[in-house]
Amino acid sequence: MDKLISRLIGSIIIIAIFGVLLYLFVVYVLPVIIIAALLVYVIRKLYRFLYRLRHSSDEFLKLAFMPLGYVSERSSSSSDLQFLYADKVLSQFDIPDSCYAKAREYINLGRRASSSEIREIISKYHQYWDRPSSRNRLFFAQISVLFCDQVLTRSEVNLFMELAGWYSYSREEAQAALDRILQVKHFTYDSQNDWYSPFGSYGSYGGYSSSGGGNYGGGGGQESGAGSAARELDEAYRILGIDASASDADARKAYRRLMAKYHPDKAMAQGLGEADVKRYTELSQKIGRAWDTVRKYRHIK
C-alpha cells in the first residue's frame, strides 16, 4: 500500500511539473516564438519587396542585361540556348514578369552596342551596386552564357577577360576566377581546336571527333550516326537545362516547367512583342523535340 501511495504521489508530482512547464511554455515561450516567426515573415516579405523593387529599376535592368546581350552576341552558343539562359538570369534576379519586355529590350540593345558603350555602363555599377558580392553576381551572371554550349573558345576567353577588366578585376583575379570555373565544370584545353570543353575534341563523347576539316567521325566524311545521336542527346539535355545524370523524374519536371514557361500565352501576358511570341512558339516546339529525344533514349513512357 505504501508503495502504491508513493507511486501515486510521484505520478502526481510529475504531472504537476509537466503541467507547470506546459503552462510556462504556452503563456511565455509560445507567444515569443509566434511573434518572432511573424517578425521574420514580415522582414522577409519586406526584403523581397525591396529586392524586387530595386531589381525592377531601369538602372538595374540596363546594367544587368545590356552587358548580357553584348556577351551573348559574341558567344558561340546557339541562339536558343542564349535565349533560355537569358530567362535563367531573369529568374535569378527575380525580375517581375512586368519587366520582362524591358529587360529583353536591353538585351537586344546590348547585342548592337559597342564595347565602349558597355564599358561605360559597367563603369557606373558601383553607383548602385557597390558591394563586392553584387559585382560578382552581376559579372558571373553575364559571362556564364559563354559556357552554356559546353565549349569555351579563345575569343570567348578574351571576352571573359575584357568584361572582368571593366568590372575592375585585376588580371590575376580574372584568371583565378576563370580557372575555378573551368575546374568546377571539368573543362580541359583541346589544343586541336583551341578551345576548352569537358569533352575535349568530342573523341571521348559519343564516339565522334571534330577532326577532318570540321566534319565529324575523324575521316573527313559526314558525322557518324552514333556521334550525331550523341550530339543530339547532349543538345537536348542543354535545352532542358539538366545534366545527363538527372533522374527521369527530374527530366520530366524540367520539360513540364519549360513547356509551361514558354507557352505563347505566357509571352503575351508578359507584354512581349510578336517576335518574342513567335520565339516562344518555336522554343516550345524545340523543347518538345528535346524531351522526345531524352524520353526515347531513356525509354520513358
The CATH code belonging to domain 225-298 is 1.10.287
Question: 3: pLDDT confidence band, cut at 50, 70 and 90?
Answer: confident
The dihedral through the CA atoms of 258, 262, 263, 265 has a sign that is: positive
The CA distance from 242 to 92, in Å, is 16
Give one DSSP letter per residue of 158-192, joined into a string: HHHHHHHHHTT--HHHHHHHHHHHHHHTT-EEETT
**Percentage of the chain modeled with pLDDT above 90:** 23
Contacts with 82 (C-beta within 8 Å, 6 or more apart), sequence order: 72, 75, 145, 148
Query: In the predicted model, what is the mean pLDDT of residues 56-63?
Result: 84
Instruction: State pTM to two decimals.
Output: 0.64
- Measured at the CA of 152, the angle between CA 100 and CA 211, to 5 degrees, comes to 130
Render pLDDT for 152-195 as a digit per residue (tens, 0 to 9): 999 999 999 999 999 989 999 999 999 999 998 888 888 888 88
**Looking at residues 225-241, what average pLDDT do you find?**
76
Average pLDDT over residues 6-21: 85
Q: Report the amino acid identity of residue 223.
A: E
Model confidence at 1, pLDDT cuts 50, 70, 90, reads low
Mean per-residue pLDDT for 225-243?
77
CB burial readout 172-186, b (16+ within 10 A) else e: eebeebbeebbeeee
Report pLDDT for 74.
92
